[in-house]
Structure 1
């Protein structure tokens, strides 16, 4: 059988070189004929695929036929066949090196083998050792890590874990300018109930904090907020908020998005059912429509739950810690910072000056603020509002009656 395959291959090669065998002085040069023959495509006799051949390969076949006949066109059996096995001492040393140095590159391992005189860089070949390492899981980390079994999970109470994520949305008008939109959603793991969701123009910590604040105002403080490793979810602001609220913040392991499959499945539903039906122009328009869509989503039968998210939400206990309605919920989300009071009775925050009446120069005072809204800054334990320094208003203080009276009194004294 092997001889028949070799003969078919030899005959196929002979058919390609046959026009080159009988040339005379009037024919074109051999190099030109080889170039012409190499421009065609040929059907390989073994697998029927179309192949192209180089002029040098055809020249070698012609040489082999002229010196050895048809048999010379068959492929010879490799003289080193069966000698590519990695010797046992060398293989054992490779396993020991990888166990001792999991972060070494394979190139560094091979240099170590040469220094230990276990490999002469010739046999087995470098490609053989690379193939052996790949087949035996001896490559550098993270290839050593075996794939962990992904286990599905689902909590049995509302608020035990909320899942947050961003989805890229359509371009919408913000004023007269068109900007890319991002849908931020927080969904409960147990009930698939969307506790908060809205389209924003930025994928930022501000959008995340606003949505989390809205969700907590409505439903209370959950036990966990499960997110990916995006910059918004890894921000210092969110970490401080979660610590202040005693809320755990687990993250999806890098390269393992399966843990957020519930919110990703909801995003697919939004694309297929909400965004596909109608095109929206502005952020106000799409957010109004999305609110109506969520009301309908909460009342539809969920295929996994076999009931609607609203029914599931009402049928299970909630572990969310309620926030009193009279409480200033924004205070739970403000950042806190200690600032020094300067001689002019001001503090500095993000290169801006604010007046803090009642504080002594040199004293350090605690301020509370939102990074994206410096128009409302509070200081002290009683949260007094700090006022931005208005240089123009301070200049007009010389025109008040008290200052004018003092000035006249000084003139009379003179």
Structure 2
């Protein structure tokens, strides 16, 4: 009988594909034994005599081949494979012992399970049996029981991964403490922080900042300012105001100041749930790239898990900033991305769109500044943070209340706003290279006094002129008062004869 006459399953290719490699090799060996009978008609008895298989086994294989094709010749696993021939409660006991905290060793679980089984009259499980049961525990259940709900959510929860359809639709921001030591201005080693803002669509880095201190709202604002405004480097074109700013729920992202900034720029903030930083894996992978491709080539690099290398710190913060900036501009943004296959800068530019920009850099500079601080202008200037700030313009506003804004990176000057309008930049003589002389201050005060006197004269002349114009003259002059008449003598009572 030929193989074409034999029965076949509906989809033999699919049935064969379900077999393991070992099962397929076993099916081919059995088919080669049956091939003389299938193609040349050799009797089963002759085949059995020439092989180690019995005629009964060959007949069984032949029936399986005719019914199920080549896949029928593979040995099927036992229907009860993996099932234990002891009470289900014993299996649950072993799993429960393995899932208790603190995590117990397999030997401890085996001893405890054997003691319980002996008391219950159950079969005593061997170490191999206990090991196999523990190994087959659902990893999700083991993670939830032993590592906690947070770890379970991070590993096994179903996550919706958002994907921006165009550049500047979604930006992501995050911080990390770098695996590198630098030298602070005080001469001590320290591990700096890196803040990165990434465009979700192109994976391009729009802005970054390197700081010694822990992340703050100001750090984020300064990085966002750099990301939004046009770059001076001709090869770094990423800029504009994003539609959505996706950040975590840290205090540096949820500050009132940053919320006001995003409201002014019409940016919709999207916050991760507290303790659940979902959907920000793209920006977090950048930190690994920076560590591996940039920091590992710099002195002072100390990856986690290695011995403390603080003593090897050589770079200053400014030098590290330059190194990271060069890596972002020349390597990262212009290298094909592992997921998109396109360099981030090229993918951002390929959309051929005009990014939404602020009206001016002056408006965007508000991102540099802290929350507005009310102050009063004193005769000797504005007092702030134990410093004194002066400008000749302030002479005209002594006693007025103003709002000051300042850049903490440069305390040499502050910006002063009066009734909502920018007034001037006041200088701290102790910090700034430019100092204001006493002559300038005196001239400003004298000019202010002259201006006030002129205003007083103008008002006095107006008052005098208007009062004189509105005086009404009397119709008839009154006669002068008459001289008083001489009073008659007054008679007095005489009391003595001589009077």
Shorter-chain TM-score: what band?
Answer: 0.5 to 0.7
Give the superposition deviation at 1:268.
1.8
- Answering whether residue 397 of structure 2 is matched by residue 359 of structure 1, we say yes
2:340 corresponds to? 305
Aligned CA distance change for structure 1 residues 325 and 385 (closer, same or farther; 3 Å): closer
Aligned CA distance change for structure 1 residues 149 and 74 (closer, same or farther; 3 Å): closer
| Matched-pair contact (CA < 8 Å) for 2:377–2:402 | no
Instruction: Classify the secondary structure of the residue corresponding to 1:382.
Output: strand
Give the superposition deviation at 1:296.
1.4
| Separation of aligned partners in 1, 2:319 and 2:378 | 50
2:422 corresponds to? 382
Aligned CA distance change for structure 1 residues 264 and 354 (closer, same or farther; 3 Å): same
Give the superposition deviation at 1:325.
6.8
| Separation of aligned partners in 1, 2:332 and 2:362 | 31
Give the superposition deviation at 1:348.
4.2
Instruction: Classify the secondary structure of the residue corresponding to 1:151.
Output: coil
| Separation of aligned partners in 2, 1:334 and 1:263 | 26
- Answering whether residue 219 of structure 2 is matched by residue 182 of structure 1, we say no
Give the superposition deviation at 1:173.
1.3
Out of 235, 240, 254, the residue aligned to residue 255 of structure 2 is 235
| Matched-pair contact (CA < 8 Å) for 1:186–1:196 | yes
1:75 corresponds to? 119
1:213 corresponds to? 225
2:320 corresponds to? 286
Instruction: Classify the secondary structure of the residue corresponding to 2:192.
Output: strand
Give the superposition deviation at 1:156.
1.2
Give the superposition deviation at 1:353.
4.5
Which is worse superposed, 282-291 or 259-268?
282-291
Task: Structure 2: give runs of 5+ residues left out of the alignment.
Answer: 1-84, 88-105, 122-148, 231-238, 301-313, 446-499
Aligned CA distance change for structure 1 residues 348 and 303 (closer, same or farther; 3 Å): same
- Answering whether residue 190 of structure 2 is matched by residue 153 of structure 1, we say no
Deviations 1:131-171 (A, max 9, x none): xxxxxxxxxxx99xx99742011111111121111111111
The structure with more radius of gyration: 2
Deviations 1:55-83 (A, max 9, x none): xxxxxxxxxxxxxxxxxx96268xxxxxx
| Separation of aligned partners in 2, 1:240 and 1:301 | 37
2:242 corresponds to? 222
- Answering whether residue 379 of structure 2 is matched by residue 369 of structure 1, we say no
- Answering whether residue 261 of structure 2 is matched by residue 251 of structure 1, we say no
| Separation of aligned partners in 2, 1:199 and 1:164 | 14
Aligned CA distance change for structure 1 residues 396 and 258 (closer, same or farther; 3 Å): closer
| Separation of aligned partners in 1, 2:422 and 2:437 | 29
Instruction: Classify the secondary structure of the residue corresponding to 2:414.
Output: strand
| Separation of aligned partners in 1, 2:331 and 2:429 | 49
Out of 182, 188, 195, the residue aligned to residue 172 of structure 1 is 182
| Separation of aligned partners in 2, 1:290 and 1:334 | 25
| Matched-pair contact (CA < 8 Å) for 2:168–2:199 | yes
| Matched-pair contact (CA < 8 Å) for 1:198–1:290 | no
2:374 corresponds to? 339
Give the structure with the higher percent strand: 1
| Separation of aligned partners in 2, 1:227 and 1:376 | 32
Aligned CA distance change for structure 1 residues 155 and 345 (closer, same or farther; 3 Å): same
| Matched-pair contact (CA < 8 Å) for 2:171–2:244 | yes
Aligned CA distance change for structure 1 residues 352 and 278 (closer, same or farther; 3 Å): closer
Give the superposition deviation at 1:264.
1.0
Aligned CA distance change for structure 1 residues 2 and 395 (closer, same or farther; 3 Å): closer
Give the superposition deviation at 1:396.
7.0
Aligned CA distance change for structure 1 residues 47 and 276 (closer, same or farther; 3 Å): same
| Separation of aligned partners in 1, 2:277 and 2:428 | 45
| Separation of aligned partners in 2, 1:241 and 1:188 | 19
| Matched-pair contact (CA < 8 Å) for 2:175–2:215 | no
| Separation of aligned partners in 1, 2:327 and 2:290 | 9
- Answering whether residue 357 of structure 2 is matched by residue 322 of structure 1, we say yes
| Matched-pair contact (CA < 8 Å) for 1:341–1:365 | yes
| Matched-pair contact (CA < 8 Å) for 2:221–2:367 | no
1:202 corresponds to? 213
| Separation of aligned partners in 1, 2:109 and 2:405 | 78
Give the superposed CA RMSD. Answer: 4.2
